[in-house]
Amino acid sequence: MKRLVILISGRGSNMEAIVKACAAEGWPASIAAVISNRPDAGGLQFAAERGIATAVVDHKAYASRDDFDAELARIIDSFSPDLVVLAGFMRILTPAFTARYERRLLNIHPSLLPAFTGLHTHERALAMGCKVAGATVHFVTAELDHGAIVMQGVVPVQPGDDAKTLAGRVLTAEHRIYPQSVRWFVEDALVWVGDTVQHRDGAAQQLLLS
Ligand code: GAR
């Protein structure tokens, strides 16, 4: 049984998708805790209602990123996770933190990386006239929104889209590719090939939605 700790900052719909898939599909995993950097994160209630341990490490209470990350790591480690899952966790992490969880820290980013790292991905994709958009699950390294890609979900950009409609379509893909990626991790189905990650049996690491 693998132990998962999921970090959120807000609504937590990706966390919810992972928790539900873990239970419904009987993964060899348990959700050890859901941790938020914001006390008002909506997802905390969902986790608590499911009987999952919750914790808040409020970044505003710490003088520096180093102090915040050190306390965050202390709380995470108290749950002895095999994998830490960033699910809409909106904090930049220090190199010491990312090194501590090397190859056991996943993130989802709402763009087709390496395009559009950082914020406002949908606005920027629309401003560029992109014809497809999507989301990426990747292992986290010290460099923001880089690291080995586990899975990507691609959706069309439709005429008349605004950032909200595009975000909604991308989120549908997120809710498919993030549970799938975490499941592969807990099933030991991911293999490192140099700095890239492949599925052990060659399963498709992309989801194309039309
Ligand atoms: C998701 O769209 C996720 O991809 C994004 O925040 C949203 C969180 O939604 N993450 C980032 O932008 C990370 N840089 P959720 O709280 O409902 O899962």
Residue range 129-171, pLDDT digits in tens: 999 999 999 999 999 999 999 999 999 999 999 999 999 999 9
What is the tens place of the pLDDT at every residue in 103-126? Answer: 999 999 999 999 999 999 999 999
Domain 107-210 has CATH 3.40.1710.10: no
What's the one-letter identity of residue 81?
P
What is the distance between the alpha carbons of residues 147 and 137, in angstroms, rounded to a whole number? Answer: 9
Active site residue 109: yes
What is the distance between the alpha carbons of residues 186 and 179, in angstroms, rounded to a whole number? Answer: 11
Output the pTM of the full model: 0.98
User: Which residues, judged by CB distance below 6 Å to any ligand atom, belong to the binding site of ligand 1?
Assistant: 8, 10-14, 87-88, 108-110, 135, 171, 174
The 3 state secondary structure assigned to 98-145 is HHHCCCCEEEEECCCCCCCCCCCHHHHHHHCCCCEEEEEEEECCCCCC
Could you tell me where in the chain the CATH 3.40.50.170 domains are found?
1-101, 107-210
The chain-wide mean pLDDT, for the chain, equals 98
Atom in ligand 1 nearest the alpha carbon of residue 170: 2
How many other CB atoms are found less than 10 A from the CB of residue 143?
Answer: 10
Q: Are 31 and 51 in contact (CB under 8 A)?
A: no
Q: Which of 120, 174, 177, 182 to mutate to test the pocket of ligand 1 (most atoms within 8 A of CB)?
A: 174
Distance in Å, CA 195 to ligand 1 centroid: 25
Section 10-16 average pLDDT: 98
Q: Domain 1-101: which topology?
A: Rossmann fold (3.40.50)
Omega prior to 114 cis, within 30 of 0: yes
- Residue 185: which H helix or E strand, with range? helix 163-186
- Residue 167: which H helix or E strand, with range? helix 163-186
Atom in ligand 1 nearest the alpha carbon of residue 145: 14
